[in-house]
Chain A
Amino acid sequence: MKKTFITVVSMLLVLVLLAACGNSNTQSSSGSEAQGNNSGEKVYKVAYIARAQSDSFAAWLANAVKEEAKKYPNIKLEVFDGQASDDKENSMIENAITNKFDLVIVQPNNGEAQRPYVEKVINAGIFAITTNARISGIEGASTVDADPYEQAGVNARAALDQIPQNAKVVVLNGPSGNFHADKRRESWQKEFFDKRPDVQIVGEQIANWNKDEAMKYMEDWVQANDKIDAVVSMNDNMAAGALEAVKDNAKYSGMLAYGVDGTAEAFQLIKEGKMTSTCLQNAFELAEKLLDTSNKLLTGVEKQIDTDIGNPLITKDNVDEYIELLEKAEALK
């Protein structure tokens, strides 16, 4: 028993040691590269601090950023995982300052919690970019983002003509207090519900971006209402969950459904005619802009940049071209 314990502990120690060696190797190599690459050009160290590698969009974005960075020989990128925790993400930002990165890209877990830390980056004389979602109003910091208001807005404006008179709709919300969740809901309110007082919301719940939670709510709403004309969802996962709940029910075959994000599942549902539309938040485009902005800042072309990616509305008419794009994303993994 004691022997087993000692064996296990020593094996763990060896493992930690090995991992540590691996790390110090990469650090020293990146350190030396920071002096210059083969052509003698200066190489800049860039830290990308992801909100969480566990959330599927954040993972796609991190992969896309890594891929895009390969196109820039003067940029050496390192990716860190904030593990969906403010605390962890903040200490990673501090570490990036200590390790003298030239530029720090932060994908905040919760904008306000990271704000003072991004300010520290700026005060240390290091460039900072905030992205998905941006932390606005930090002097000297740049931002690259998609506008969540517009992402929902393109759907909401299309819905003005699509949702029938006196329709009954249900609304699925993201986690309360989440910047994108709140902005998307606000957009639906201003762009659609305020303009269509005839439409009645017969159910509205927070399904935390999750397919399983949304499915359960929809099953209950179907029992409580004799008809539901549309599902207004703040992301694609929840819209897919609602559609899953009624997929074998002929009564709901004509139901409209709106989402945001542009997931593979949503594209499939749109292609099959089950989902009405979504807005793509394109990680490739975000990654392109992030690296381009980084390059411009580091080489002194500009001092501060605020930029947005487009908000394409995806419907049955144009879904095929975006499916191709996602297949490229799939190949990235």
Chain B
Amino acid sequence: MKDNMNWSLFWSTFKKTYSIYLVLLALFIVCSFANPNFLSVNNLTNISTQLAVTTILAFGQTILIISGMLDLSAGSVLALSGVFAVSAYKSTGSFTVAIVTGIVTGVVCNVVNAVMVSTFKTPPFIATLAMLTMARGVALLFTKGQNILQLEDFTILGQGSIGFIPIPVLFLIAFAIITWYLLRHTKFGRSLFAVGGNEEAAAASGINVSKVKYSAFIINGIFVGVAGILFMSRVNAGLPNGAINYEFTALTAAIIGGTSFSGGIGSAGGTLAGAFIVGFLDNIMNLTNVDSYMQQIIRGAIIALAVIYDIRSKNRRTKNTLGRIEDKSGKSGKSGGRRGEPIQEIAKGPH
């Protein structure tokens, strides 16, 4: 009887932590059988290159969502950073100037986001929606709505490779590691979870909530800036109209990867897996020439499934927690008010 319980506990923990990777693996196997070209090295490299930009955005979103925020302006700010970086490169010929320009643009826009969200207490949804419109407007005004062409050597960042690994994929790997490290192994990462889980509790336990929010947006700004540079370099043009709706692709990857919109839950690995699930699906649908409209329906259905799964598993988790508390105390009435406690424990941990 006890063994049985341990096994089920083990299985539920395993499922909670690794289910997303199992889904990814299953999809990978199905795709391999669905089309012989899927498994070719070229195709897999392609998928990774295609995913680099949106996945880097998704890491930024993961950091924000974990701390109870989000960034709807990512696609527009990406275009603005990219367009500025491209013009900087065209007028100076220097990669350093271009990269710094792109990143600074991303950071400045996100500091404005942070001012609205943290200082003026605007809901992140509205604040970043405002930035979405403004950043796109600036990009269009700056370019007068025209594409910037002939980037020449600038394309090396998006189209070149080191050895057999494309440079965007190297960026993707680097940002995955950075995000994982930030979330798992730093005090800042733990404060993100604390703020997202329960802001009041986090503040009460001595976390500077405003500083955490500013930092989260600034990091997101760096990610978006780099993504902008990679994007423009890959398409060999400064597209003021580029990357429309990329924020939603990024959010999709984060959500499928198990990041919870209620805050306090999410991981770099999950988001990476989420991005690849979307990437594999898109790729296999193109390889097998699935109709455009059908593709949209399938993509939507996947998001719906992921969110339903997220909510169901959260309910189960709440029940489990309540159940355990009940077991310990032997009474059922007192458990309701104690749900904030674990978060406070996490929050206190790093100090």
Contact = CB atoms under 8 A, between A and B. Distances in A.
A215 B49 CA distance: 12
A186 interface: no
B149 A59 contact: no
A1 B240 CA distance: 35
A205 interface: yes
B289 A202 contact: yes
A55 B145 contact: yes
Given A204-B289, A265-B147, A333-B144, A212 B46 contact: no
B283 interface: yes
B324 to A, nearest CB: 43
Interface string B258-299: 000000000000000000000000110011110011010000
Contacts of A55: 145, 241
Given A1-B119, A54-B145, A211-B239, A223 B292 contact: no
A55 B147 CA distance: 10
A221 B49 CA distance: 15
B37 interface: yes
A57 B153 CA distance: 27
Nearest to B285: A220
Contacts of B14: none
A155 to B, nearest CB: 21
A237 B50 CA distance: 18
A92 B35 CA distance: 51
Interface stretch (B173-181, B216-224, B230-238): B230-238
B335 interface: no
A293 interface: no
A235 B288 CA distance: 24
Contacts of B295: 205
Given A54-B241, A205-B286, A219 B46 contact: yes
A264 interface: yes
A54 B136 contact: yes
User: Which of A55, A173, A244 is most buried by chain B, counting CB atoms within 10 A of its CB?
Assistant: A244
A54 B142 CA distance: 11
Contact of B287 (A63, A206, A212, A223): A223
A223 B147 contact: no
Contacts of A53: 140, 145
Contacts of A5: 120
A46 to B, nearest CB: 22
A221 B145 contact: no
B289 A211 contact: no
A39 interface: no
A54 B140 contact: yes
B318 interface: no
A202 B147 CA distance: 30
Chain A contact residues: helix, strand, loop or mixed:
helix
A210 interface: yes
Given A54-B241, A205-B292, A265-B149, A215 B235 contact: yes
B144 A59 contact: yes
Interface in A69-104: none
A56 B146 contact: yes
Interface string B31-72: 000010100101100100110000000000000000000000
Contacts of B244: 210
Count chain A CB atoms within 10 A of each CB in B40, B231, B234, B286 and give the residue with the most.
B286
Interface string A287-315: 00000000000000000000000000000
A315 B145 CA distance: 26
Nearest to A221: B286
Interface string B306-317: 000000000000
B225 interface: no
Interface in A192-249: 202-206, 210-212, 215-217, 219-221, 223-224, 237, 240-241, 244, 248
Interface residues of A, number: 39
Contacts of A176: 292-293
A212 B144 contact: no
Given A210-B242, A333-B144, A268 B149 contact: yes
Contacts of B235: 211-212, 215, 241, 244
A63 B149 CA distance: 20
B22 to A, nearest CB: 25
Nearest to B239: A211
A211 B242 contact: yes
B243 interface: yes
A158 interface: no
A59 B146 contact: yes
Interface string B240-256: 11111000000000000
A231 to B, nearest CB: 15
A224 B286 contact: yes
Given A211-B235, A241-B235, A220 B283 contact: yes
Given A53-B145, A205-B292, 12 more contacts: A4-B119, A53-B140, A56-B241, A63-B144, A176-B293, A203-B286, A211-B147, A221-B286, A224-B35, A224-B287, A224-B288, A244-B235
Closest 10 A/B residue pairs (Cβ): A59-B145, A220-B286, A224-B287, A223-B43, A206-B292, A54-B140, A223-B37, A212-B235, A56-B145, A333-B144
Interface of B: 35, 37, 40, 42-43, 46, 49-50, 119-120, 136, 140, 144-147, 149-150, 159, 231, 234-237, 239-244, 282-283, 286-289, 292-293, 295
Interface of A: 1, 4-5, 53-56, 58-60, 63, 173, 176, 202-206, 210-212, 215-217, 219-221, 223-224, 237, 240-241, 244, 248, 263-265, 268, 333
19 contacts: A53-B140, A55-B241, A56-B147, A59-B145, A173-B292, A205-B286, A210-B239, A210-B241, A210-B242, A211-B242, A212-B231, A212-B242, A215-B234, A219-B49, A220-B46, A223-B46, A241-B235, A244-B235, A265-B149
